[in-house]
Amino acid sequence: MENNKGFKFSQYACAVLLISSSIALVSYQVVEIDDVASGLLEPARLVVGPVIVCSGFRCEEVNRRVGGVSRSQHLTGQAADIRPQDPSQYPRLVEFLKACEYTDQLLTGSTWLHVSWTPLGTPRHMIRIGYYK
Ligand SMILES: [Zn+2]
């Protein structure tokens, strides 16, 4: 896996922590993420600089432990909780994902956000600003 320059890796491991090139794995279950890497996360990184993935693909066990909803898109590797490394870029990240055609669901907090995608379906473009208090 190569992640210091961008979202170049083709598989998305179940990780609770994925910062720059360091990955803390809790499971070796992996899913393909080429669609989102090319269509959503990588373009976002080009706009706001390094993006920290706080939570990406989750296996059932991790999803349960973090209190994820039972049909969470994290379970299929189609969602990520992210924040820009530079906090001042957060508004730009939100604006980028609001406008991005691949955004399925965008739920924002004050410093991080949840974004999902649907590689095989039509994005709902469901935007909830200030969803996380
Ligand atoms: Zn999420």
Residue with tokens 């922590």, as numbered in its chain: 17
Q: Which residue would you say has higher pLDDT here, 97 or 28?
A: 97
56 CA distance to ligand 1 middle (Å): 7
Biggest distance spanned by C-alpha atoms of the chain: 34
Domain positions in the chain are: 11-128
State the pTM of this model.
Answer: 0.78
Q: How far apart (Å, rounded) are the C-alpha atoms in residues 127 and 101?
A: 12
According to DSSP, residue 128 is labeled E
The CATH number of the domain covering residues in 11-128:
3.30.1380
Higher pLDDT, 10 or 60: 60
Most confident of 29-33, 50-54, 105-109: 105-109
- By C-alpha distance, which of 123, 106, 117, 26 is closest to 77? 117
Distance CA 33, CA 55 (A): 14
**CA 74 to ligand 1 center in whole angstroms:** 6
Give the pLDDT confidence of 57-104 residue by residue, as tens digits.
Answer: 887 877 887 888 999 998 888 888 999 999 999 999 999 999 999 899
